[in-house]
Amino acid sequence: MNEKLAIDGGTPVRDKFLVFGTPTLGDEEIAEVVDTLRSGWIGMGPKVARFEEQFRDYIGCSHAVAVSSCTAGLHLCLVVHNIGPGDEVITSPLTFVATANVILHQGARPIFVDIDPHTLNIDPNRIEAAITPRTRAIIPVHFGGLSCDMDAIMDVARRHNLIVIEDAAHAVGTRYHGQLVGATPGSLASFSFYANKNITTAEGGMITTEDPVAAGKLLVYRQHGMDRDAWQRFQVRQKDFCDFVAPGYKYNLTDLQASLGIHQLRKLPSFQDAREQLAAQYDAAFDELSSVQRQFRPTSAGDRHALHLYVLIVDTDQLTAPRNKVIMALRAENIGATLHYTAVHLLDYYQHLGYRRGDCPVAEHVSEHILSLPLVPTMTPSDADDVISAVRKVLTAYKR
């Protein structure tokens, strides 16, 4: 007989709610924040510069520009390439709404190209058919931490003279053909350090690029269009005043935030190991379940899924409950399951813009069957066992 689900009044698998995406912060981060507070310089200053340098060295890229969020970074990349009204930007529908919103902020139009059902990333074979004379850029999204097929994307971009801006929100630590995401020649990448990301500064982001001209513009545009920032002015005690050479934004990171980033980046290899161990535990259990499918995971040495998200795609044909009910039942079992994402073109505002169901059938199907399970370095093997037990319990109870 099936165990009674907690959602129906049964006993939950665990007593304490397992929160999705808790940050992993330690004494080093706390001490660094205190040091910054005591230093008298809490805005953008030496610690942002240090974090940028460390990030640049880690990625192996030429330029790293810290910003207030990945969203701000994506927006700035469009700004410095003058993407505006009348332009089209190709992107994935299976993403956080920010990826598409920044295109709208510039008065341009997002063109959603359907995803590959195995990688859950934009299907490179469909991009060319979506290119028009108005297409200016492609924003590939490395969904969950799995790199897009960058060789194919860069090839199509070169042939059509398009800018590539990678949404690398999930991709700190992602490898593609031996190289970390963020070091692809000819593209810009924007990373996220939001609270639940693989490394965090509470809010924050980083743009990386090999292009010195774009990097120079990003530095100006991230802080009001100022020709030099406050820390540079302070260091040289300049007598003259700064000038404003562009209508820039207030998108800078602060030293308080960088204080976290400096230590988070150092700890990233251990975070990655922990994620991999927990994911292996999940894999072994979920391989036996016929009603779930997992995202493709590369096995070659030069490629690495950063495991920002661990997603299952549930085959609701085998179940008596829709995906949302499965998520609610898992939450009742005290497992913080959640959804990434409803396909952007199905969201209310995008429907008002004229996007329609049927535009991207693969993304629509995935977005209605996908769920994300908790996967953070602070979890113990016993926490992962609870997640596995809850998934088994819920799927067994709802089995057709």
Of 386, 271, 397, the C-alpha closest to 14 is 386
DSSP notation for 196-238: TSSS--SS-EEEEES-HHHHHHHHHHTBTTBSS-HHHHHHHT-
Question: Could you say which of 4, 16, 47, 197 is catalytic?
Answer: 197
Decide whether 14 or 197 has the Cβ nearer to ligand PLP: 197
With contacts defined by CB under 6 A, name the span among 57-65, 91-99, 111-119, 174-182 that binds ligand PLP.
91-99
Of 300, 372, 296, 312, the C-alpha closest to 340 is 372
Decide whether 285 or 347 has the Cβ nearer to ligand PLP: 347
Decide whether 142 or 323 has the Cβ nearer to ligand PLP: 142
Query: CB of 25: closest distance to ligand PLP in angstroms?
Result: 17
Position among 5, 77, 78, 141 found at the interface with ligand PLP (CB under 6 A):
141
Stated as kind and residue range, the H or E segment containing 266 is helix 255-286
Decide whether 141 or 156 has the Cβ nearer to ligand PLP: 141
Neighbouring C-alpha atoms within 13 Å toward the C-beta of 326: 30
99 is an interface residue for ligand PLP by CB under 6 A: yes
Decide whether 195 or 285 has the Cβ nearer to ligand PLP: 195
Query: CB of 360: closest distance to ligand PLP in angstroms?
Result: 16
375 is an interface residue for ligand PLP by CB under 6 A: no
Name, in order, each residue with C-beta under 8 angstroms of 358's C-beta and a sequence gap of 6 or more.
Answer: 364
Name, in order, each residue with C-beta under 8 angstroms of 153's C-beta and a sequence gap of 6 or more.
Answer: 122, 124, 127, 138, 140, 164
Site string for ligand PLP, 279-308 (x = CB under 6 A): ------------------------------
Name, in order, each residue with C-beta under 8 angstroms of 171's C-beta and a sequence gap of 6 or more.
Answer: 142, 145, 147, 181, 182, 189, 191, 306, 308
Binding-site size, ligand PLP (CB under 6 A): 14
With 0-12 / 13-18 / 19 or more C-beta atoms within 10 angstroms meaning exposed / middle / buried, residue 78 is buried
209 is an interface residue for ligand PLP by CB under 6 A: no
Cα 3 to Cα 11: distance, rounded to the nearest angstrom? 9
Decide whether 172 or 387 has the Cβ nearer to ligand PLP: 172
71 is an interface residue for ligand PLP by CB under 6 A: yes
70 is an interface residue for ligand PLP by CB under 6 A: yes
Query: CB of 290: closest distance to ligand PLP in angstroms?
Result: 30
271 is an interface residue for ligand PLP by CB under 6 A: no
What are the respective helix, strand and coil percentages of the chain, to the nearest 5?
40, 15, 40
Decide whether 54 or 338 has the Cβ nearer to ligand PLP: 338
Helical H segments across 4-64, by residue range: 27-39, 46-59
169 is an interface residue for ligand PLP by CB under 6 A: yes
Query: CB of 268: closest distance to ligand PLP in angstroms?
Result: 17
With contacts defined by CB under 6 A, name the span among 22-30, 56-64, 127-135, 162-170 that binds ligand PLP.
162-170
Please indicate whether residue 197 is annotated as part of the active site: yes
192 is an interface residue for ligand PLP by CB under 6 A: yes
Position among 20, 51, 58, 96 found at the interface with ligand PLP (CB under 6 A):
96
Report CA Rg, the chain.
22
167 is an interface residue for ligand PLP by CB under 6 A: yes
Strand bridging mode 187-192 / 163-168: parallel
Backbone angle region of 291, left / alpha / beta, with phi > 0 → left and psi within -120 to 50 → alpha? alpha
Residues that bind ligand PLP (CB under 6 A): 69-71, 95-96, 98-99, 141, 167, 169-170, 192, 194, 205
Residues known to be catalytic:
197
